[in-house]
Structure 1
Amino acid sequence: MTGRHPRHRGRAVALFFLAPLVGEYLLGNTPITDVASLLMFAPMYGGGALLIRETARRYGRGWPTMIVLAAAYALLEEGPIDMMLWNPSYGGFDIAAAYSGTYVPALGTSVQMLQDVLSMHTVWSICVPIALVEACGREATGPWLGRTGTAVTAGLFAAGSALLSAAQVAQTRFVASPAELAWCSTVIVALVGVAFALRRGPSARSGPAAPAPWRVGTAAFGVTSLYWAREFLGEGVPQWAVAGAWFGLVAASVALCARWCRRTGWGEAHRLALAGGALLTYAWVGVSHARDMDVPRGTALTGNVVFGLGAVALSAAAARSVRRREAQPSPSAASRSSASPNSSTIS
């Protein structure tokens, strides 16, 4: 991946590998003993995250565009690429039985399956890694790659996705129906259109001050943990009620974030807090998730500790980087200071 500057190349490479580390390893899907699979996951996860980030930033778009593109990626990965949305025994698990409560025949999948796919990949596979890597550096919103780097990334993403898709078909002998692939592809294209129909810049900030970043991070941890807490609900809870609660939780979270980001003082520290809170949720979820994936207990515990501590260390490093930038005067403030009548121009 060729970048415009060595520093930008480093950040692009960091995002390329961080996305699968969060999406697969921190979650507990893939054990720490299978680190070699990182090279298989990175082109799809990391390539997707990097292409979304570069596309949005190159065209002057912000987080609303990246979030919607991340949702499109979520459906692309679990739809046309590996077809988990429709495979009744994906990964050797009885997916059909697990999600039977909200199955919709016209879609060939369940509402809760769609909710899980959109939640995990939109938030953790794409947006959290982008926010963390953007926070670790001086220049957050400019493109990191030139045309060559973008083309190489796109090629890696396409090749990696095709390889994983072929491997899934060869292993499971399952292929979704043309109708299932058609509706999913239509929704993906529509989401991409919506992403670029959103306005370019944020609205003017006014009104009361934004909450402290630590409050935002606590809220993010609480909301994302509440989403995963459904794993501990009893079997008697109606699954359609759980699905309805998901819609309510997402709507409330989007409304709250939209309100906060319009407040005075909202900035990079708050966006990092949102990502950090969600990241810490994956740290505790990975403990139970590794158990569900039948990972040996010692291996699972080692992975949980290593990747969990890594998540904390990365969040802390990103926070220090943001604090350093906030402590530096902006270029406009510096120029105003040098132009002030009270400033000395005598050497």
Structure 2
Amino acid sequence: MTNTNVVTAPRRSGVKRALPALGLFFLSPMVAEFLLGNIPISGLFALFALAPLYGGGAVLIREVARRRGWGYPSILILALAYGVIEEGITTQSLFNPNYAGLRLLDPGHISFLGMGAPWTVMVLGLHTLWSITVPIVVMESLSRRPREPWLGKVGLSVYAVLFVVGVVATTAFGYTKDPFRASAGQNVGVAVAVAVLIALAVLVGRRGPRRTTGSVPAVWIVGVVGLVGSSGWMLVNDNVTNGWLCAAISLLIDVLAVLLFVTWSRRTNWTRMHTLAAAGGAMLTYAWHAFPESPTFGASMTVDLIGNGVFALLAVVLLISATIRCDKFVRS
């Protein structure tokens, strides 16, 4: 069965049409590292170094999905593939037992894979939802063309090259800082996992959505569910006392969230506002979660808290703007 919803970019994309892609290019690393609290506001210059990897990946995933007429399920799967690439190849944190000196793989260690169950579940979840999917949803909610390609062939090629440059540069930088190298078997496993996920994204995208009848919760309720669910997921991963139990609870939350939101989103009363509310709830989780985190990269507590406040405020303003634009579109 072929996909009849393929969308092709217009011949004249123009600078104005490509602006949302540029916004996504910088929003993705902003959410992934700065809103989370990993990098303080004093390190804002790092945004330009991170954008090719995070932003290039987000733009590439979004453009490929929308050109093929695929929905968010395919985007989520491709976002997971992105996470496997970043953590399996560029940082190798999935396999490095002493990554950043944190011993992240000790809890729930899987010896024959050389991986840690809770760390794998957590870091791939972070990338799937927050690094890629949430920025895409927010930027599409701000766009006048949320389901259309934003780039022509040249623009798409540029972002694809930027993504490759980001992967290569990040990998090379990591190699200069840490002597650890993943085994051949681990690298093959990463390649196979990425290939399987891409194939799954294609399969899901070609099948298309199956709309059903039934009621959906109010938009604000969906937002609260997104906030509470993602906050609970983060809190579980903040307190890894039993690695296997932590991984199991995190996976359970993941499965329940997927089942719940897939069920709701298939119903005819589900709108773009509901999708934005779910993503907005997750985005606010990152905003509050940054405050109890310890300062990073040598920043003082004051600088760290100021930065967290600024980034949280920017997130709120962005979500309000996206809500206004999205509501106007839904009502029109």
Partner SS state of residue 45, structure 2: helix
Look up the equivalent residue of 2:46 and give its one-letter code. S
Residues 1:67 and 2:76 are matched in the alignment = yes
| CA distance in 2: counterparts of 1:164 and 1:217, whole angstroms | 34
Task: After superposition, give the CA deviation of every residue in 1:216-237 in whole Å (9 maximum; x if it has no partner).
Answer: 010000010001112554x7x4
Equivalent of residue 295 in structure 2, options 291, 298, 308: 291
Shift of 1:242: 1.5
CA contact (8 A) 1:75 1:117 kept: no
Residues 1:148 and 2:154 are matched in the alignment = yes
Look up the equivalent residue of 1:273 and give its one-letter code. A
Task: After superposition, give the CA deviation of every residue in 1:242-272 in whole Å (9 maximum; x if it has no partner).
Answer: 2111121111111111111122310100010
CA contact (8 A) 2:21 2:151 kept: yes
1:94 — aligned with what? 102
| CA distance in 1: counterparts of 2:208 and 2:124, whole angstroms | 25
Shift of 1:54: 0.3
Task: After superposition, give the CA deviation of every residue in 1:316-341 in whole Å (9 maximum; x if it has no partner).
Answer: 0000001111221xxxxxxxxxxxxx
| CA distance in 2: counterparts of 1:326 and 1:174, whole angstroms | 51
2:143 — aligned with what? 137
Alignment of 1:232-243 (within 5 A): 233=239, 237-243=241-247
CA contact (8 A) 2:105 2:119 kept: yes
Look up the equivalent residue of 1:55 and give its one-letter code. V
Shift of 1:79: 0.7
Alignment of 1:96-245 (within 5 A): 98-198=104-204, 199-207=206-214, 209-231=215-237, 233=239, 237-245=241-249
Alignment of 1:11-22 (within 5 A): 11-22=20-31
1:342 — aligned with what? none
Look up the equivalent residue of 2:329 and give its one-letter code. R
CA contact (8 A) 1:291 1:300 kept: yes
Shift of 1:170: 0.4
The runs of 5 or more residues in structure 2 that have no matched partner are: 1-10
Equivalent of residue 9 in structure 1, options 11, 15, 18: 18
Distance 1:50 1:3, change over 3 A: farther
CA contact (8 A) 1:3 1:149 kept: no
Identity, % of aligned positions: 36
CA contact (8 A) 1:3 1:9 kept: no
| CA distance in 1: counterparts of 2:311 and 2:85, whole angstroms | 26
1:338 — aligned with what? none
| CA distance in 1: counterparts of 2:121 and 2:60, whole angstroms | 23
CA contact (8 A) 1:32 1:299 kept: yes
2:283 — aligned with what? 279
CA RMSD of aligned residues (A): 1.6
| CA distance in 1: counterparts of 2:235 and 2:179, whole angstroms | 34
Shift of 1:35: 1.2
Look up the equivalent residue of 1:94 and give its one-letter code. L
1:247 — aligned with what? 251
The runs of 5 or more residues in structure 1 that have no matched partner are: 329-347
| CA distance in 1: counterparts of 2:57 and 2:292, whole angstroms | 27
| CA distance in 1: counterparts of 2:294 and 2:126, whole angstroms | 15
CA contact (8 A) 1:43 1:156 kept: yes
Partner SS state of residue 287, structure 1: coil
Look up the equivalent residue of 2:288 and give its one-letter code. W
Task: After superposition, give the CA deviation of every residue in 1:27-49 in whole Å (9 maximum; x if it has no partner).
Answer: 11111111111111000000000
CA contact (8 A) 2:53 2:164 kept: yes
Look up the equivalent residue of 2:30 and give its one-letter code. L
2:5 — aligned with what? none
Partner SS state of residue 174, structure 1: coil
Partner SS state of residue 330, structure 2: helix
Partner SS state of residue 51, structure 2: helix
Distance 1:238 1:160, change over 3 A: closer
Count of aligned pairs? 321
2:36 — aligned with what? 27
Shift of 1:8: 2.2
| CA distance in 1: counterparts of 2:327 and 2:258, whole angstroms | 26
Partner SS state of residue 168, structure 2: helix
| CA distance in 1: counterparts of 2:282 and 2:29, whole angstroms | 16
